[in-house]
A = this chain, B = another copy of it.
Amino acid sequence: VSRALQDSPLVQRQTKERVIAVAAKYGYSVNRHAQRLRSKRTNTIAVVLHLPPSYGRAVAAPFIFQLLADVSRALSIRHQDLLLCSAETDEAPAYERMLASKGADALIFLGQGAGTGWLDDLARTHAPFVVWGAVDDDQGFCAVGSDNLKGGMLAGRRFAEMGRENVLFVGDRAHAEIELRRQGLERGLKQAGRGVTIRDLSLADFSFESAYAVMQDFLQNGGERPDAVFAASDTIAMAVIVALQEAGLQVPRDTSVIGYNDIAYAAHFSPPLTTVRQDTHQGGTLLVEKLFQILDGAKPPSVKLPTELIVRGT
């Protein structure tokens, strides 16, 4: 029966059909636990979501959910179950246990949070996993992410072309990805050869609310007003624009703003948001592909996905 239902070539077609018919008749279906216990394959991938701590009521992390949807699609093509976990802990042992107990064959981390030391710890245990986030050659693990440095440079160059000279960066530089975007900004600006000031506005999280509050405060007490703002995410960019407008500045006339991610709402914001796009569809596919290479014993390199400046109205 087992062989027939797995479509083994050892079983004659006739016999298979007979077995399948009987199984259907009696509503039989294999018990996955017994199957997995015996075969020692779980066929489950755990996806760990690193949701930003939600400020107030709503979890606004459209980018990460978009990525989740794309990963889910890629996994279902490979007939893998998706075990969804929220990152409650940033410690390697919790994930080691999840693998040891066969909760999943491997892990995908979406959004790596601020510190990444524990990911290196996890890599040292030879746990099979991939990460969406910053790509760095020193990492002991395989990461897939947008080319944040390049993305930042795109923004920097654009500001330079527009003759902007007083640039503000808004975002939490403790995140490796954000820090790279910041460095790219600087490089893009410098390549254009202009003497430019970059100031930084630090944020505790990615929420609209905290970005709005911090930006408002900055505009009231921060001295000179910036003629360009590069935001670490689209949500932050939207908050920045609202604060700028309320302070009497026009976007993009007085201040030009660029966001990051190109979430669905960016195009529908008013004015439509100029932003750096990352291709989550490709990202999800690649993440899963790399993970299976790892499960097959390979050690695939990290990838930086190309990045594109979508020029709209800001």
Residues of A within 8 A of B (CB): 27, 29-34, 36-37, 42, 47, 51, 54, 57-62, 65-66, 68-69, 72-73, 76, 81-86, 88, 97, 100-103, 208, 238-239, 242, 263-265, 268-270, 281
Q: Please give the distance in Å from A246's CB to the nearest CB on chain B.
A: 11
Among A65, A82, A103, the most chain B Cβ lie within 10 Å of the Cβ of A65
Chain B contacts of A73 at CB under 8 A?
A: 86
Decide yes or no: A82 and B81 within 8 Å by CB, A37-B33, A58-B263 being known contacts: no
Return the chain B residue nearest A277 by Cβ: B57
Given contacts A60-B265, A76-B88, 5 further A-B contacts (CB under 8 A): A30-B101, A31-B37, A32-B103, A60-B62, A269-B269
Contact of A268 with B281 at beta-carbon distance under 8 Å, contacts A33-B42, A73-B86 already known: no
Q: Report whether B59 and A102 are in contact in the complex, using a CB–CB cutoff of 8 Å.
A: no
**B69 & A51 in contact (Cβ 8 Å cutoff):** yes
Minimum CB–CB distance from A15 to chain B (whole Å) comes to 22
Which residues of the other chain, B, contact A51 by a CB distance below 8 angstroms?
A: 69
In the assembled complex, the Cα of A88 lies from the Cα of B72 at a distance in Å of 12
Per the bound structure, the CA–CA distance linking A61 and B68 in Å amounts to 12
Q: Measured between alpha carbons, how far is A217 from B58 in the docked complex, in Å? A: 34
Residues of B near A33 (CB, < 8 A) are 33-34, 36-37, 42, 102
Q: Please determine whether A86 and B101 come into contact, CB atoms closer than 8 angstroms.
A: no
Contacts of A54 in B (CB 8 A): 69
Least CB separation from A272: chain B residue? B242
**27 examples of A-B residue contacts, CB within 8 angstroms:** A29-B97, A29-B100, A29-B101, A30-B101, A33-B33, A33-B42, A47-B84, A51-B69, A57-B281, A58-B264, A59-B66, A60-B62, A61-B65, A62-B62, A62-B65, A72-B84, A76-B86, A76-B88, A81-B83, A82-B83, A82-B84, A83-B83, A84-B84, A242-B268, A242-B270, A269-B269, A269-B270
CB distance from A57 to the nearest CB of B (A): 7
Contact B59–A65 (Cβ < 8 Å)? yes
A238: which B residues are within 8 A, CB to CB? 265, 268
- In the complex formed, the residue of B with least CB distance to A37 is B33
Which residues from chain B contact A65 at a C-beta distance below 8 Å? 59, 61-62, 65, 68
Chain B residues within 8 Å of A30, by CB: 101
Question: Which residues of the other chain, B, contact A59 by a CB distance below 8 angstroms?
Answer: 65-66, 69, 264
